[in-house]
Structure 1
């Protein structure tokens, strides 16, 4: 975030707090009240919204890779089990 202090308060929440809670927010691990507070901040703070979007896309890609890798491992193990039978 350039020219934007992490101590900036938007909708009652500091940008630093948004960054600290971002992963839990994306994982759905926050209380409804906290989600509402972060959403209000993100709606008004273009810097955090932009950064949050980058993080969300990165996490989505990593989850796809992980899911693909897990399927490959399962398929490889099943192939070995069937071949040894």
Structure 2
């Protein structure tokens, strides 16, 4: 009788230890999602016409690159148009 109880106890403990929550294969483990950081904002002080206080404007690096390129294109367009006014 003791042998039968020992065998039943042994089987129940071995079945309990066989069922673990960890995956058997390391490659099948769930991969944590990649956290994407928002772009870093860069703030600049800009002088506003008619005000004694500068305004602070914040944009991402890509936006500042586009703004600077547009400003450079406008300045170049103005430089080119000044010399031709009034000439025939």
- With the shorter chain as reference, the TM-score category is 0.3 to 0.5
* Greater fraction strand: 2
* Greater fraction helix: 1
Structure possessing the higher radius of gyration over alpha carbons: 2
Question: Which of structures 1 and 2 has the larger relative contact order (alpha carbons within 8 angstroms, sep 6+)?
Answer: 1
